[in-house]
Amino acid sequence: MKVTEFLKNQYRHFNAAALIDAAEGYKTHLANGNKMLVTLAGAMSTAELGISLAEMIRQDKIHAISCTGANLEEDIFNLVAHDFYERIPHYRDLTAQDEENLLNRHMNRVTDTCIPEMEAMRRIENTVLKFWEKADQEGKAYFPHEFFYQILLSGDLEQYYQIDPKNSWMLEAAKKNLPIFVPGWEDSTLGNIYAGHVISGDIKNVHTMKTGIQYMMQLAEWYTQTAKEESTIGFFQIGGGIAGDFPICVVPMLHQDLQRTGVPLWGYFAQISDSTTSYGSYSGAVPNEKITWGKLGKETPKYIIESDATIVAPLIFAIVLDL
């Protein structure tokens, strides 16, 4: 039995039914000639979402991505250092001493998975710094994802690959020159490393790396050029946080601040989240709240699945891909 057939047979109520509805809405949105932006919060790359996400990119089911700096870099960490990762299924039982032991071994823990500092972060740093310094010396500036595109397409890291390259969503994105927006990139390991190299003088101009404001400007132009009355852009949000909050705000900015009133609202909205609305959490706000901010309309198809994104997202992608 195909995955899609199994899900449609078994997933009939509650969050399970919402999953099916969101997936079918996604398919309908694309079938009508529309585009889709996907947002990645948390540590979805370390959860190896790239296995399904890369296929979605290959098959043109995703047309832009907004993600945290962590998700941008952690897909590459996994690409070059997968064999050195360690899984700790009983992470809830770790003592403070156990955690310190991991620190001393340079194993940085993300829930049940430890990222190896030397094989992942430091290996990447040596390559990335070369590209940063070259741009700096030439007086050029690029976005964080553009530097990664240059590195991946150069082949410099191929000697280190430890997974099947087809499972790296960043590599697939680079091949397609997919639009990526990375708000708050400085809140990432490589963002910290970049700041360190600016402080030490290895990079002379801090603006060799383009900023979040410039990302918003680029997003505004991409949205204006891509979204038309006959072809809208959908918004598929995995988790919450800045990866989702940043891009969804482009619509009210275009309408209210730039007076581009002919630009349509987001044409589809779905979110996988376990955030609680009553705490004032914007990430947990029900979709209708976004109507009051001028992001969605009352007719916009809206879905929310209150569950674990590491479980739900690959299943929705499976339906969209008709697996």
pLDDT at 303 over 90: yes
Architecture of domain 3-87+94-321: 3-Layer(aba) Sandwich (3.40)
pLDDT at 198 (0 to 100): 98
Integer CA distances (angstroms), 26 to 38, 98, 192, 271, in order: 11, 44, 36, 12
Mean pLDDT of 211-235: 95
Mean pLDDT of 86-104: 98
Contacts of 162 (CB under 8 A, 6+ apart): 79, 80, 81, 82, 83, 84
CA-CA distance, 211 to 207, in Å (whole number)? 7
64 near 148, Cβ under 8 Å? no
Confidence of residue 229 (pLDDT cuts 50, 70, 90): confident
Give percent helix, percent strand, percent coil of the chain, each to the nearest 5. 55, 15, 35
33 near 42, Cβ under 8 Å? no
pTM: 0.96
Mean pLDDT of 269-288: 79
Mean pLDDT of 22-39: 98
Mean pLDDT of 218-242: 94
pLDDT at 261 (0 to 100): 86
CA-CA distance, 102 to 90, in Å (whole number)? 14
List the beta bridge partners of residue 238: 40, 272
pLDDT by residue (tens digit) across 116-145? Answer: 999 999 889 989 999 999 999 999 999 999
Angle, CA 267 vertex, CA 262 and CA 268 arms, to 5°: 160
Domain ranges of the chain: 3-87+94-321
pLDDT by residue (tens digit) across 145-197? Answer: 999 999 999 999 999 999 999 999 999 999 999 999 999 999 999 999 999 99
Mean pLDDT of 224-233: 92
pLDDT at 286 (0 to 100): 82
List the beta bridge partners of residue 38: 65, 236
Residue type, 152: L
Beta strands in the chain (DSSP E): 35-40, 64-67, 86-87, 107-110, 113-116, 180-181, 233-238, 268-272, 302-305
Cα-only R_g, the chain: 20
Mean pLDDT of 33-62: 97
Beta strands in 111-210 (DSSP E): 113-116, 180-181
pLDDT at 85 (0 to 100): 98
pLDDT at 263 (0 to 100): 95
pLDDT at 44 over 70: yes
Confidence of residue 88 (pLDDT cuts 50, 70, 90): very high
Confidence of residue 282 (pLDDT cuts 50, 70, 90): low
- Mean of per-residue pLDDT scores for the chain: 96
- Could you tell me the sign of the dihedral formed by the alpha carbons of 304, 310, 311, 317, in that order? positive
CA-CA distance, 169 to 175, in Å (whole number)? 10
pLDDT at 278 (0 to 100): 66
Q: Which two tokens stand for residue 172?
A: 């697939």
pLDDT at 283 (0 to 100): 67
Q: Which two tokens stand for residue 81?
A: 């250092």
